[in-house]
């Protein structure tokens, strides 16, 4: 088994983010918002969503952990540390926004 820290190459910079969703609909909404947020970047929607940026990419993978609990594993890989950190920061802010949105939508009035 390979440890994630062992994956780091001298010419590559990797960051990992994770977010959980209580249902598939919330995950799908997240992916749609993410596609819109990074609309101007080239995207590939194969087995997982890949968003390409200069000298790197972001891979978003959907994993079913339990019944109706989905995990989004996000990997940022970049040859340029500065731009990769900027993309990671943008994704972190976006994930915080999505998390607050879902918390507020669960409130009952």
Q: Are 50 and 76 in contact (CB under 8 A)?
A: no
Q: What does pTM read for this prediction? A: 0.72
Give residues with Cβ within 8 angstroms of 14, minimum separation 6: 4, 7, 8, 75, 76, 77
- CATH number of 18's domain: 3.30.310.50
In a domain? residue 2: no
In a domain? residue 3: no
Q: How many domains does the chain have?
A: 1
Query: Which domain does 64 fall in, by range?
Result: 10-105
In a domain? residue 4: no
The pLDDT tens digits of the residues spanning 71-96 come to 888 899 999 888 888 888 888 888 88
In a domain? residue 1: no
In a domain? residue 5: no
User: How far apart are the C-alpha atoms of 92 and 77, rounded to whole Å?
Assistant: 15
In a domain? residue 62: yes
The pLDDT tens digits of the residues spanning 17-54 come to 888 888 788 888 888 888 888 888 888 888 889 999 88
């Amino acid at each position: 088994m390979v440890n994630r820290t062992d994956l780091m190459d001298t010419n590559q910079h990797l960051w990992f983010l994770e977010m959980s969703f209580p249902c598939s609909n919330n995950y799908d909404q997240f992916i749609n918002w993410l596609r819109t947020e990074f609309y101007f970047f080239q995207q590939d929607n194969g087995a997982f969503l890949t968003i390409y940026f200069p000298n790197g990419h972001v891979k978003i993978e959907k994993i079913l952990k339990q019944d109706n609990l989905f995990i989004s594993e996000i990997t940022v890989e970049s040859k340029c540390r500065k731009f990769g950190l900027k993309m990671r920061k943008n994704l972190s802010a976006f994930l915080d926004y999505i998390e607050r949105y879902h918390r507020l939508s669960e409130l009952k009035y």
